[in-house]
Structure formats: structure tokens, C-alpha cells
């Protein structure tokens, strides 16, 4: 089974645009679980332009499924993760000013850095996933750094899906096979949607988890949140 983790950052973006607490990020996270999502993802950034550190602290004790915190491992981020103890931390190489994640780690170049970051999380019993491009070497060095999983950065797949789906998915299949060979779990995320998700799942049936935010929340404007989550879960069957 591939788990659907809903990224609620966009809910926080909408709330922050007006101030106050509408929409309520915690309530939406709980509703996502109630409607069938198997996980909740948050990605706090240093400027707290969407998810705030206070949101993370509020959501963590209420989530009954899997809680995943993703972000760049700055000192404040590392302290937050170790404080709230999520089920999974996903390390991404975003600089502070990044609009959204746009590349995976160069795990070979940053091997020693990642080793030092990953070890304390694992000592705390937190599963560690490393965000990588679909390159077998990047997957290999994530394993050498001590990661439990990799999350494949799927924007290149999504961008070329409608032009040539088979060509678009091929590097991801190779990277997924590399992950299996190194004993890593496998996640995927970025620009996955109702058009391209099932095809990815068909070609990589052993995906552990997909993390989806922007497209899912956008679809919910038309279908409603409950029906949207059901539609995404149908794509993963």
C-alpha cells in the first residue's frame, strides 16, 4: 500500500494572507485524516510564510496517523524536529529564499554533512528520508549517509508526463530500483496530481508514500476536501 500524506502548507498560506485563524490548519489536518489520508506533512520555512513552528507544535500531539516534517536542516529546524518527535523527517536542500523545493540533495558532495545531521534523528527514533533527484548515485549516497528512505523529486516526471510518459517515468523506475537494492524505503513528491499519479504508481508499485499538497488542495476547491482525498487514494490503488 502506498500511503497518501497531505501537505497542509497551502492551508497555512491562505490563513496567513488574511491573518487570524481561518482556515484553521489544525482542523484541516484532522479532517484530512478523517477523510482517509494516512499522513500529514508540514514544511516550516525560516520566514514562516506558511506553516509556523507553532503550527507544528499544535498539530503534532493531535495527529493520529503519520506525521512528517520536511525542511532544510538548519539549527532551529533540527531543534524543532527533535522537540516534537515526528514519525518522519524529510531533509530537503532548500535555501531560505526558495519559493518551493526545486532540486534534491547532491548526496555525494554533502555526504559528511548529511551523516552528521541524520545520526541524532535516528538516535531519537525518527525515520529519516532524504529528498533526491532520480539518479541512482544520489540514492546510493543517501544510503551511505544513513537515511532510512529517499523521497524522489518528481517535478521532472510531472513536467514531461503529457509529452512522453514512458520516457518521463524511466529515470524514476531506475532510481526506485536502486533504493530497493540499498534497502531504502521509497517516497515521492512534487507536482504529483490526479493526472499523473496513477501512472507513477503503476510503474513503481512498491512506493511507500507520496506527499501531495498544492495540487490536492487546489482540487479540493472544486471537488471538496473529502472527495478529493478519495480521488487521490483511488489513483494509488
- 213 labelled ligand-binding: yes
Is residue 162 part of the annotated active site? The answer reads no
- 50 labelled ligand-binding: yes
- 187 labelled ligand-binding: no
Average pLDDT over residues 207-220: 98
pLDDT of residue 101 exceeding 90 = no
* Per-residue pLDDT reduced to its tens digit, 131-155: 999 999 999 999 999 999 999 999 9
- 203 labelled ligand-binding: no
Predicted model pTM: 0.95
* Per-residue pLDDT reduced to its tens digit, 109-134: 999 999 999 999 999 999 999 999 99
Average pLDDT over residues 151-162: 97
Which one from 66, 140, 151, 190 is the annotated catalytic residue?
Answer: 190
Which one from 70, 140, 151, 209 is the annotated catalytic residue?
Answer: 70
The alpha carbon of residue 6 and the mean position of all alpha carbons in its chain are separated, in whole angstroms, by 8
Which one from 43, 66, 140, 209 is the annotated catalytic residue?
Answer: 43
- 57 labelled ligand-binding: no
- 162 labelled ligand-binding: no
Is residue 70 part of the annotated active site? The answer reads yes
Percent of the chain with pLDDT over 90: 94
- 100 labelled ligand-binding: yes
Is residue 190 part of the annotated active site? The answer reads yes
pLDDT of residue 216 exceeding 70 = yes
Q: How confident is the model at residue 184 (pLDDT cuts 50, 70, 90)?
A: very high
- 219 labelled ligand-binding: no
Output 18-25 pairs: Cβ under 8 A, ≥24 positions apart. Answer: 25/51, 25/55, 25/59
Amino acid at each position: 500500500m502506498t500511503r497518501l500524506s497531505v501537505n497542509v502548507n497551502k492551508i497555512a498560506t491562505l490563513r496567513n494572507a488574511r491573518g487570524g485563524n481561518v482556515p484553521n490548519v489544525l482542523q484541516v489536518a484532522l479532517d484530512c485524516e478523517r477523510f482517509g489520508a494516512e499522513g500529514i506533512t508540514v514544511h516550516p520555512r525560516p520566514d514562516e510564510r506558511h506553516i509556523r513552528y507553532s503550527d507544528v507544535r499544535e498539530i503534532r500531539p493531535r495527529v493520529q496517523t503519520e506525521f512528517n516534517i520536511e525542511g532544510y536542516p538548519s539549527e532551529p529546524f533540527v531543534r524543532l524536529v527533535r522537540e516534537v518527535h515526528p514519525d518522519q523527517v524529510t531533509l530537503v536542500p532548500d535555501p531560505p529564499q526558495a519559493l518551493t523545493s526545486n532540486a534534491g540533495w547532491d548526496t555525494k558532495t554533502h555526504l559528511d554533512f548529511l551523516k552528521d545531521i541524520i545520526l541524532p534523528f535516528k538516535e531519537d527514533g525518527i525515520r529519516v528520508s532524504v529528498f533526491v533527484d532520480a539518479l541512482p548515485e544520489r540514492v546510493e549516497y543517501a544510503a551511505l549517509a544513513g537515511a532510512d528512505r529517499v523521497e524522489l523529486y518528481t517535478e521532472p516526471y510531472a513536467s514531461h508526463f503529457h509529452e512522453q510518459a514512458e520516457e518521463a517515468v524511466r529515470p524514476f523506475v531506475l532510481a526506485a530500483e536502486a533504493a530497493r537494492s540499498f534497502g531504502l524505503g521509497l517516497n515521492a513528491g512534487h507536482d504529483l496530481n490526479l493526472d499523473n499519479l496513477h501512472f507513477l504508481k503503476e510503474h513503481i508499485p512498491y512506493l511507500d508514500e507520496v506527499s501531495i499538497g498544492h495540487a490536492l488542495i487546489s482540487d479540493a476547491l472544486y471537488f471538496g476536501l473529502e472527495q478529493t482525498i478519495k480521488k487521490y487514494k483511488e489513483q494509488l490503488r
